[in-house]
Each structure stands twice: as C-alpha cells, then as structure tokens.
C-alpha cells in the first residue's frame, strides 16, 4: 500500500513538472530564430562590405599599371617586350626581326597594400625604381565605389650623351589610378599622370608633361580577357611657324607627344598573366612612353640640303587615325608586344 502511494505521488509530481518543461521548450524554440537571425546579420554585414577581389587580372595592362597590388610577401617577376612596327609586313615578319625593346622587372610586397620594384630596360639602358600603394579599395557595398592606387617611378638613363650633371639623367612619373569593377566580367580604369624630366634631350619638349590613360578589361572566360588601352597626352606645345636651327625643327610643326591605342588578349591564372597585343608605344618606361612622339625628316628645309629638320605629327587622336582613316599608315604606327608576369607568395 505504501509503495502504491509513493508511485502515485511521483506521477503527480511529473504531471506538475510537465507544463513547466513544455513552457521552457517553447521559449527555447521561440528565441532560437531571433538568435539565429542576429547571428546571421552579424555575419552578413561584413560580407557585403568586403573589398572587391581581382578588379584586374594583373598589376599591369599592356603599357600601363592597374590598381592591383599583390598580397603581402609576394615576389613578382615581369618581362615586357616590344617588337618593331608592322610596316614591312612579311619582309621582316611583321616587325619580329626589327630592333626590339625589352624590360625585366622585379617587385616585392613587404607590407599590405605596398609594393616596391626595380627594372632594367634596353632602351637608353634605363634603370627604374618604383613604388605602388593601394590608397582605397572598392567595397561590395557602395561605401567605397572605386579603388584608388598611387604609382610612382624614378628612372635613370645610363645612355644619355647630352647632360651637364648626373641629376640630368633622372626622370619621374606620378600616376593616380582610379578603377571600378562593374561586374564579374567588366572593369574600367582612368589614370591621370604627371611626367617630369630633369633635362629633356629634345629641347623643344617641356620638362613637365600631363597625360591621361583609360584602360578596360572584359573577361570572355574565367582565364581569358580582352584588354584595351588608350593613352592621351594633355600638355600642348607651341607651333614653330619658322624652322628652328638650334632645335632642329622644321617650319609649321610642334613636337606634341602622340597618343597610344592598344588592344590585346590576356590569359591569366592565380600566379601567371600573359598579355599579347598591338599598340604604338615601344619605350616601356612610363615617363618615356608619356613623351613618345613619331616624327619624320624634312630632307631639304628652306632649300638647304645640309639640314634635316624634324617634322612632327600632331598629338591628337584625330591625327592618330590618319587623314584617310584608321588604316592610313597603320603599319608605321602599330607594333606587336607582350607582357609576362609571374608571382610567388612566401
């Protein structure tokens, strides 16, 4: 009898506890979605505001830099090659047999967002030292719609005959790169620049020169892209109405640096980038490219057979395309070039 009473009392206690247990269980279920939602919001917020990855597939795009800076402790090796112009076509294999220019470059990223480098170019036996710093990075949200990077280069000519002081060999290039990745396929960049030469070999050119570059990348596949580059000089020079004997200029000319249009194909992986393209520039060093101009010679200026004054082409895009359209003198304007980039991360 005593055992039966004990069992009944235990049953009654369990029945009394059951509502409390159910209530606690319901409270847990009700609060779980709230906690999960808060946790999800905490995780989602950083995702939408993370930096955009791979605005461009390489640190350079043909003759220009991009906003990209390799991650910390990355070593980069570059080979840049420019062949001769296409004007002789089959005779010299579309410029492959002509005199070419080549640069080998090395850079390292010692800290986040900063890379430093050195390069050696065949043309005028250039040695150049550069630095590149990512000031701003585009975010997936609109808190930062563009990426901004500053690039600076200092060049030293070792093949420079007309100088008075060692500092005359120095030249400098400053560029602000502003880019936006619009979607997974298309990226666009605008980059104003300032070039300074301590001494110009051509005295008709200014020591300071402004230019702007527009670059674009369109991804056809995950590893292949079409790349485009347009470089337009902004500084203008006066027209020499009369021939200048000291400067060696023909009459009615002005030595405006010429624009550049490049179009190419890019193949890339996580550690390699290969670009092959047609373009105008062949000097590779950015400050020399910025001052690039095409010229001919007037073989008999003012009836004097002993003088050969330089005759310059204008520096506008309308001149670039020629009087008879895009294909006018195209062979003397374009050349084949390629860039190879290899990355190692330690």
pLDDT tens, position by position, 209-225 = 999 999 999 999 999 99
176 within 8 A of 67, measured Cβ to Cβ: no
- pLDDT at position 235, please? 87
pLDDT at 270 over 80: yes
Higher pLDDT: 255 or 104? It is 104
Name the region of 329 (left: φ>0; alpha: ψ -120 to 50; beta: rest).
left
200 within 8 A of 229, measured Cβ to Cβ: no
Higher pLDDT: 316 or 289? It is 289
> What is the mean pLDDT of the segment spanning 75-82?
97
pLDDT at 283 over 70: yes
Residues 6+ apart with CB under 8 A from 237: 204, 205, 206, 254, 255, 256
Q: Residue 17 — pLDDT band, cuts 50, 70, 90? A: low
- pLDDT tens digits for range 20-77: 554 554 444 444 443 444 444 444 445 678 899 999 999 999 999 999 999 999 999 9
Rounded to 10 degrees, the C-alpha dihedral 139/141/143/149 comes to: 20
- pLDDT at position 61, please? 96
Q: Residue 7 — pLDDT band, cuts 50, 70, 90? A: low
In this structure, of 1-10, 104-113, 178-187, 291-300, the range with the lowest mean pLDDT score is 1-10
Percent of the chain predicted with pLDDT > 90: 53
Q: How does the average pLDDT of the chain come out, rounded?
A: 80
How far apart, in whole angstroms, are the C-alpha atoms of residue 1 and residue 36? Answer: 52
Q: For residue 42, give Cα distances in angstroms to 34, 140, 256.
A: 12, 16, 56
- pLDDT at position 306, please? 46
């Amino acid at each position: 009898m005593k055992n039966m009473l004990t069992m009944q009392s235990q049953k009654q206690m369990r029945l009394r506890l059951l509502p409390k247990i159910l209530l606690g269980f319901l409270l847990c279920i009700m609060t779980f979605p709230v906690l999960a939602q808060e946790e999800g919001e905490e995780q989602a917020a950083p995702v939408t505001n993370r930096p955009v990855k791979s605005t461009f597939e390489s640190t350079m795009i043909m003759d220009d830099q991009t906003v990209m800076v390799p991650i910390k402790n990355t070593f980069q090796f570059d080979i840049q090659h420019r062949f001769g112009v296409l004007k002789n076509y089959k005779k010299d294999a579309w410029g492959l047999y002509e005199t070419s220019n080549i640069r080998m470059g090395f850079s390292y990223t010692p800290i986040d967002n900063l890379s430093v480098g050195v390069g050696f170019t065949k043309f005028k036996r250039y040695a150049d030292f550069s630095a590149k710093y990512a000031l701003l990075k585009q975010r997936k949200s609109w808190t930062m719609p563009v990426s901004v990077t500053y690039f600076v280069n200092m060049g030293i000519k070792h093949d420079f005959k007309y100088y008075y002081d060692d500092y005359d060999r120095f030249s400098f290039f400053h560029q602000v790169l502003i880019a936006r990745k619009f979607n997974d396929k298309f990226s666009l960049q605008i980059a104003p620049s300032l070039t300074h030469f301590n001494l110009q070999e051509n005295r008709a050119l200014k020591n300071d020169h402004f230019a702007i570059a527009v670059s674009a990348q369109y991804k056809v596949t995950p590893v292949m892209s079409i790349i485009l580059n347009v470089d337009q000089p902004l500084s203008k020079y006066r027209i020499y109405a009369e021939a200048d004997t000291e400067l060696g200029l023909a009459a009615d000319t002005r030595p405006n640096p010429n624009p550049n249009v490049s179009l190419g194909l890019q193949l890339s992986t996580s550690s390699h980038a290969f670009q092959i393209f047609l373009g105008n520039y062949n000097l590779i060093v950015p400050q020399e490219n910025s001052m690039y101009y095409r010229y001919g010679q007037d073989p008999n200026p003012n009836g004097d057979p002993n003088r050969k004054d330089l005759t310059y082409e204008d520096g506008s895009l309308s001149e670039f395309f020629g009087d008879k359209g895009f294909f006018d003198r195209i062979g003397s304007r374009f050349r084949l070039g390629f860039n190879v980039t290899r990355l190692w991360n330690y």
